[in-house]
Amino acid sequence: YAMLLSLIFLIVLVAAVVGFVFRHEIKTNFESNLNLALRDYNVTADRHSEAVDTIQRTLHCCGVQNYSDWERTEYFTQRGIPRSCCKSQDDCSEEDLKDLSKAKLKVFVDGCFFLVTSTMESKMSVVAGISFGIACFQLVGIILACCLSQYITNNQYEMV
């Protein structure tokens, strides 16, 4: 049991170190995937389009760097900026969303990449604290399992 807990502890430790070391690559990967999701937005009406809409509605952002990122997409040429970027759903018409100068007043202008990464970094201390607490419980479990093993071993020798 102690060996199993030790193995799990080492896996969690390695995952934390890898996540910390490669955090810049994770950001770069996220940015490129967000750009791909914008490019393919609503072409196939898949999970990626729903994820982009959810991010934009939840964080009150639009595009990757800013709202003008939508101008380079196929979706923009057909329908303009998505409605998930609108500050107020009642005040957003399709004509406004097709014109960037009018859309600037009606949609969120900040990009989602910065907001997502800053939100993740602000929550990282909570995640680190919870992970540290779990690791402490695992270490206590490892120590207690070793003590129990030692106690059982000592009692078997006394019985003989």
Distance CA 109, CA 153 (A): 68
Place of tokens 């759903």: 89
pLDDT band per the 50, 70, 90 thresholds, residue 62? very high
Cβ neighbours of residue 106 under 8 Å, at least 6 residues apart?
Answer: 86, 87, 88, 91, 92, 96, 97
Give the per-residue pLDDT at 119: 83
Provide the mean pLDDT of the chain: 85
pTM higher than 0.85: no
Contact 109, 62 (CB under 8 A): yes
Has residue 127 got a pLDDT over 70? yes
pLDDT at position 65, please?
A: 92
Q: Which range, 15-24, 53-62, 97-106, is most confident?
A: 53-62
pLDDT at residue 61 is higher than 70: yes
| Domains (range + CATH), the chain | 10-123 (1.10.1450.10)
| 6-10: Cβ within 8 A, 24+ apart | 6/142, 8/138, 9/135, 9/138, 9/139, 9/142
Highest mean pLDDT among 9-23, 101-115, 116-130: 101-115
Share of the chain above pLDDT 90, in %: 12
Q: How far apart are CA 124 and CA 43, in angstroms?
A: 34
